[in-house]
Chains A and B, each alone.
Chain A
Amino acid sequence: VKASNSLSFSLQAKMSRPVQARRLEGIDKNVWVEFVKLAATYSKVNLGQGFPDFPAPDFLTEALTRALSGGNHMLHQYTRAFGHPPLVKVLAQFFEKLLGRDLDPMTNVMVTVGAYQALFCCFQALVDEGDEVIIIEPFFDCYEPMVKMAGGTPVFVPLRPNPPKDGRLMSSADWQLDPAELASKFSERTKAIVLNSPNNPLGKVFSRGELGLIAELCVKHDVLCISDEVYEWLVYDGKQHIRIASLQGMWDRTVIIGSAGKTFSVTGWKVGWVVGPDRLLQHLRTVHQNSVYHCATIAQEAVSQGFQRELTLYGKPESYFVQLPKELQQKRDWLVQSLDAVGMKPIIPEGTYFLVADISQFKSDVPDVPNSDEPYDYRFIKWMVKNKGLAAIPLSAFYSEAHKNNYTNFIRFCFAKEEATLKAANDILQKWKQEKTS
């Protein structure tokens, strides 16, 4: 009898009731899964996903090698959960300079598994069911599902393009918030606003005035600011990255997010951090200790040495934070030239290593399909990678579902690439243009 009971039980082996938690509703899709696969399959030149194809700086990889050969095998064991002491100490020192205030490495800094996990900790720690979170469009795509997973309601406000009258190429500075529109998005349910400056995908570097506008509203409505500043060092044309936390009334209500991946061109190391007041960070620590608890020790050790070096070279020409933006500005300018020459209209980014181009004049090869459920730029990207071997990302990927069809003639390129890669991209574009005109 026992045997036949277990047989009939095993026939119903699979869970018969709904198995996944409701917090996963609506967040299962992810643009990168599809586009990374496409690029891997078809692309000869990949300007899609945002990571450098040039090497990480020697001083950083040497720091990792030194840590490994140094004989301290305890670097292979757990370190302090909220951040390896040498790393939080040097981050505190660095950000003290930048923010002009004293920072306690133990309470004002926490290390995370990339800026991605820092964002996750912010939303889980600070956003409850029913809270509204303002997200500026276009946005790094994870903000929306993270807000939803925390039970919050995303409220979108767009950057709107104001094309220059004199016919010059648009700059990311020409995409702006409408102050009245922004103010209208704040309600008594607004818990936080997510700010990303320099902005991915447009490359916009918010000006002091624009930040002041946001800050005023945060203070007025007692709203938190989650400030994603991963591209803080990638700012061009002598522009300055301004930290909203340094504005009046903002330190106490802002969590600043940073990334070793973007700072030191090591996206695969997944070391990020948050800087902020203890009364906010204490809640992020609670989330962290109940989700991943520790971050990998050896990567933190190497990054701390990278920052030590930058601390001594701060502001000097040999500083990586001076050299990297210089190199990337050159690459930006090459790509701008390439795109402009063929009739794709680049929007010149003030920062980041991304550039958005307007393809409305260029798109003759890829016909419009009315009533398609896919935005035009998605179709254009897929056609381009399959037929021309050039990978990019559609701008609609950075918009909420409701607004995906607002800007369907723009695509995003990543220019953190070797000169050879950018030249190869140029060749593809030139050939394509010739094929169109002949």
Chain B
Amino acid sequence: MFLASRNFCCRSIRTCQLRTDLLSRSIKHSASATMPFRHKNTRRIEGLDSNVWVEFTKVAADPSIVNLGQGLPDISPPSYVKEELAKAAAIDRLNQYTRGFGHPSLVKALSQVYEQVCGRKINPLTDILVTVGAYGSLFSTIQALIEEGDEVIIIEPFYDCYEPMVKMAGAKPVFIPLRCKNDGNSASSADWVLDPAELANKFNSKTKAIILNTPHNPIGKVFTREELQVIADLCIKHDTLCISDEVYEWLVYKGNKHIKIATLPGMWERTVTIGSAGKTYSVTGWKLGWSIGPEYLIKHLQVVHQNTLYTCPTPLQEALAQAFWIDYKRMDDPDCYFYSLSRELESKRDRMAQLLKEAGLKPVIPDGGYFMIVDVSTLNVDLSDVDEKQPYDYKFVKWMIASKKLSAIPLTAFCGPETKKQFEKYIRFCFIKKDSTLDAAEVILKNWNKQ
């Protein structure tokens, strides 16, 4: 093509020169054999780049907005927890590497606490892996045990990372929604249930695992023993694993009890139970979590861990161990932080629910966790002129942030593609907030209808 154009070029010497330059440059390029940059993302992360938090944490970063969106406490962690970190920070050898699968004093403390809770012996070296947050535990578990060809059942709404993690492992997520018992009139998280027949239909020979989250984010449901038994029976029948995300295990409110599915008959051997320092001690920024289960499962998580980040930070693990010893010793005492935090949160829950009702919204009172979902359809806010293709709850939250200076998270962020219509009238509030934050929310909610 260049040669051809050269034959036609000589209308002027300058044009000829220009084309000759271009030609010689193109020869130089091909002579050095440089290829165009061909590097794109690997197949395993195809389509996993977007993330609801990136969008909403940016929006809510404006300090004039009352942020009840992202799930992080703005209350202080207990003072003894901060003190233990200060103490650990002063010990020089704690600035260097510790044991890869978990700092010895921490796995020892975890084994004691959970032996108490589960009523069974837990070997700190073989049955526990310490990870970078419960997030890291979910990742290690899924990478260790899930692969292409597997199906993984995810209960909707779900903590949003389950789906991309299952996909990154090459497996297929199979969704099943919690459904509201009273035909949309839900006063409590207990009204949201799985249909046993529908659930049974989701299991087949390819089902490798089901992910359970109790207490549940975002609804706050605390699965009952009977509900867990239904799931357990199916796991045993179909030889399926259970990945049990129990990060909110201590945050259960009066009249409810957190039950570990791993303690049901036949389940210890097929369950990995995940916990979180961030949620236990209100220190989400410490990013420490753990997986507990039988050695023959945990050893594969340990292999993933030794090939991904090898070890977690030492001083934070030591501080966490000491905090656990303090609370382990008072597990029979109501002042134990495991119980006192949930008491503190229960009153915040009740206050939040009251304010929302007074503003004309319909909260679903959670039995556990620190989130509350709210039906906003009662307000009949017309957003049809907002021509974005997003579901109603996304539009509502953006409108609420802009016009009311209050942020929340749209519930469809926690759903698969099929159930958006079912969940788009709900938004999620986080209530692990200090009094002044809730006071500011109160002002907004009380004035809601006055505009």
Contacts and interface: CB of A to CB of B under 8 A. Distances in A.
Contact of A13 (B53, B86, B270): B270
B236 interface: yes
A266 interface: yes
B300 A19 contact: yes
Contact of A68 (B76, B89, B96, B284): B89
A297 B315 contact: no
Given A61-B89, A73-B82, A28 B309 contact: no
Contacts of B266: 6, 9-10, 12-13
B291 to A, nearest CB: 14
A94 interface: no
Contact of A21 (B146, B239, B282, B284): B146
A14 B296 contact: yes
A113 B33 contact: no
A124 B44 contact: yes
Interface in A403-425: none
B451 to A, nearest CB: 31
B314 interface: yes
B23 interface: no
Contacts of A296: 132, 285-288, 313, 316
Contacts of B403: none
A28 B97 CA distance: 20
A270 B309 CA distance: 9
B12 interface: no
B72 A78 contact: yes
A267 B97 contact: yes
Contacts of A23: 143, 147
Contact of B165 (A78, A268, A290): A290
Contacts of A128: 42-44
A328 to B, nearest CB: 16
A292 B135 contact: yes
A164 interface: no
Interface residues of B, number: 88
Contact of B41 (A24, A52, A53, A125): A125
A27 interface: yes
B303 A24 contact: yes
Interface of A: 6, 9-10, 12-17, 19-24, 27-28, 30, 32-33, 49, 51-53, 55-56, 61, 64-65, 68-69, 73-79, 81, 113-114, 116-117, 120, 124-129, 142, 145-146, 149-150, 191, 219-222, 224, 249, 252-253, 265-270, 279-280, 282-283, 285-287, 289-299
Interface of B: 32-45, 48-49, 51, 53-54, 70, 72-74, 76-77, 82, 85-86, 89-90, 92, 94-98, 100, 132-133, 135-136, 139, 143-147, 161, 164-165, 168-169, 233, 236-237, 239, 241, 265-270, 278, 282-288, 294, 296-297, 300, 303-304, 306-316
20 contacts: A6-B265, A9-B236, A10-B236, A13-B236, A19-B145, A21-B169, A23-B147, A68-B86, A73-B77, A74-B285, A75-B285, A76-B286, A128-B42, A142-B307, A249-B34, A266-B95, A290-B161, A291-B136, A296-B285, A297-B286
Given A13-B269, A21-B169, A295-B287, 7 more contacts: A12-B266, A73-B82, A78-B285, A127-B42, A296-B285, A296-B288, A298-B85
